[in-house]
Amino acid sequence: MQSEVDSLKQRISELEAEKAELEAKNAELLKQVTEESTKREVENVELKARIAKLEQIAEENTELKDRITKLEQKQIQVITNEQEASPTKDISQHINYEKGITSDPLPEIEYSSTQPESSNSGKSKIFSCAILKLYILYL
């Protein structure tokens, strides 16, 4: 009987040692899980901040696209108005030129181009001047 009691005491000691090992392993795993959870939380916060920034940029891009569209529409209107008024404007410019008067408040702008001037160079200058005038209006 004494040997049986000794055997049971030995088995209890073995089980207690195994329990201590399992508790230590469990504590280590819990520590790893906590660290990984913290990392994930930090990553989530960073990603949420990045998403918010991207959404803000997307909103700004939309606003800028709207402004560009409006400017392009105004630019087309200005060009159309200039083309409709060009016969009168050409005559008045010729008369004013003879008198030494310029109606354009902006000085002449020299354009440099790597391409030779084509038949559209006049339209290109009108277009460029219209862009410049619109730009100045919106400053």
pLDDT in tens, 9-29: 999 999 999 999 999 999 999
pLDDT for the residue 87: 58
pLDDT for the residue 122: 55
pLDDT for the residue 62: 96
pLDDT for the residue 2: 87
Which residue numbers in the chain have pLDDT < 50?
Answer: 106-119
pLDDT for the residue 124: 60
Which residue do the tokens 């709207």 mark? Answer: 66
Q: What is the pTM of this model?
A: 0.45
pLDDT for the residue 113: 46
pLDDT for the residue 84: 79
